[in-house]
Structure 1
Amino acid sequence: MHSDFSVTNAALISVFSNSRRGMMESKPGSCRHDRKTRERNRRNQMKALFSELHSLVPPRSPTESTLSLSDQLSEAANYIKSLKVKVEEMREQKQNLLEVEKINTTMNNGPMIKFKSPEIRIWNTGSILEVVLVTGLDDQFMFNETAHVIHEEGADIVNASFSYVGDAMLHTFHAKVGEGDSPDERISEKLRKIVNDMLMEFHP
């Protein structure tokens, strides 16, 4: 009886030892499995983020060569930077238009104003030049001269308009300028000289 108990006890100890050894041996494998799972999840997350980023970039032509992953990331980064620049330009243009609208509102609702000298405002928002001229000279000549000066300085007029507000005239020009070119100071100087010469003729 005592012998049977000893055998049974030894067997239990052996089973427990083998089980514990098996758990210890399987633990490194389990860690490796966890690492693989985490790495797979990380890769899937990176793929999802890259897909979302790549969707922001305009599609490439089928004839263009396929870019590497690093080149695609650089292309996406550059495209996002260009969008930021465009947004800033549009924000400045919006602010400029609001200021022009403020001029219109003031002259429409306010008393009749007689301008002794013109008010010239020029905004350069990178590729777009906006010229606003408010003058008391009720003459088409000034509109034509402004267009001539803008062309003379190498800018291409995209659109132009003029309107009568009371006894004043509001000229508005939008022109496209070359990269790195800033003709706003030259245009302003020439317009002021033309208007001053006209004022001298009317009021010698």
Structure 2
Amino acid sequence: MNKLGGSSVNKMDRKTIERNRRILMKDLCFKLTSLIPPQHSKPAKELISQLDQLDQATSYIKQLRERMEELKRRKRLLAVSTADETNNSIPNSVIGLKLPILRFRDLGCTFEVVLISGHKKRFMLCQVISILEGGGTEVVTASLSNIGDNVFLTLDAQVKVCRIGVDTSGVFQRLQALIS
């Protein structure tokens, strides 16, 4: 009798498991269908089968994948063309400006220094930092980039003692003398 009783329990468990599996699959199909934008699905007036819903989802995923590949291809082409333009369009001057260029912005207790030099006039990063620190500031960030023959240097400096301040005109003159 235990064997028969155990067998019917197993059948009940299998039926319950299968019912729960079908409910879960139906729920997952509904969630998948709800993620498809309306313009990519058939009108809601029609009742469509689960198989048709899965076909629509598959079709939409394929479209997304193709679009993604197209965008990646365009991104690669754009990166290559931008690199070519950058290397070809910056010979000895930046956008028609004579090099070297010094931009010095006083932002109160902080400074931003941008230096752009060509291959004819170079300067050392340590020289620029030395001028800034000698003027009473501390370099917080520094960025150095080479594009073609040009060197782009951007420094952010902070005044060491804000209430004392910094002789900004003196720092600017020393930087100007460095790049001249």
TM range (shorter): 0.3 to 0.5
Q: Which has the larger radius of gyration?
A: 1
**TM-score, normalised with respect to structure 1:** 0.39
**TM-score, normalised with respect to structure 2:** 0.44
